Amino acid sequence: MRKLLAYPLTCFYFLFFGIVLVVFHPIQWICFNWFGYDAHQKSVSYLNLMLIWCTYLLGTRYTFQNDHNIPEGVPLIIVSNHQSMNDIPPIIWYMRKYHPKFVSKIELGKGIPSVSYNLRHGGSALIDRKDSKQALVAIAKLGKYIETNKRSAVIFPEGTRSRTGQPKKFQLTGLKVLMKQSPSALIVPISINNSWKMLRYGKFPYGIGSHLYFKVHAPMENTGDSDILLARAEEVITNDIRFTA
């Protein structure tokens, strides 16, 4: 019965999701080309708020817990597990004052209204996962960007999303490049729970009634042995993942 109800709700969701992407594409263009970075950043933040609202049609709920007074005006490297594309809008919205930029696969840089435009013009790194040299150069460029502009980089070191919520082993090369290029950055772990349930049936229909939990953990200084530091970050994240079917 639950899956049967998910079919019409997913159709409504896709309709409004598509409308939001199409409407915000020219808004982003105008903001970026006429008013500059700050206006574009605000348009992206509200785009992602609207994308969150679209998921309410599926009965989705969100809890975003951040008990830490993370300073502004310093670069951040936000490290998180990855369960679905629905991980991204809450991070952009709730962490918006830190100007999050993403390490994203290059395929998303074209063909998707609003999303592709933001990835190409908003400061994110587009990486070709089949070309490690290109990927590392793009990540290094992002690291220099956040160091210079005091913004944040979001990276999902599992590489690909977990389809069951079970965390995958972190791949550390890209993280180490970010840390090297942005030595003053704070490492901010975020754990995500239940996002995978929105894709429990595959791409259609979407899962309904999911409660997504995001928890921001205590920031870590980018000092000392990077392997030890990143092992701590991975442990903090994976220990907070509550795997339930």
pTM attached to this predicted model: 0.94
Task: Report pLDDT digits (tens) over 8-27.
Answer: 999 999 999 999 999 999 99
From 91, 102, 101, select the one nearest 64 (Cα to Cα).
Answer: 91
From 121, 110, 113, 89, select the one nearest 23 (Cα to Cα).
Answer: 113
Domains of the chain (ranges, CATH numbers): 2-239 (3.40.1130)
- 79: β partners: 155, 189
DSSP notation for 142-210:
HHHHHHHHT-EEEE-TTSS--SSSPPPPPP-HHHHHHHHH-TTPEEEEEEEESGGGGGTT-SSSPP-S-
Task: Report pLDDT digits (tens) over 23-67.
Answer: 999 999 999 999 999 999 999 999 999 999 999 999 999 999 999
- Show the tokens assigned to 109: 């840089």
Distance between CA atoms of residues 45 and 28, nearest Å: 11
Average pLDDT taken over every residue of the chain: 93
Distance between CA atoms of residues 175 and 178, nearest Å: 5
| Residue 244, pLDDT above cutoff 70 | no
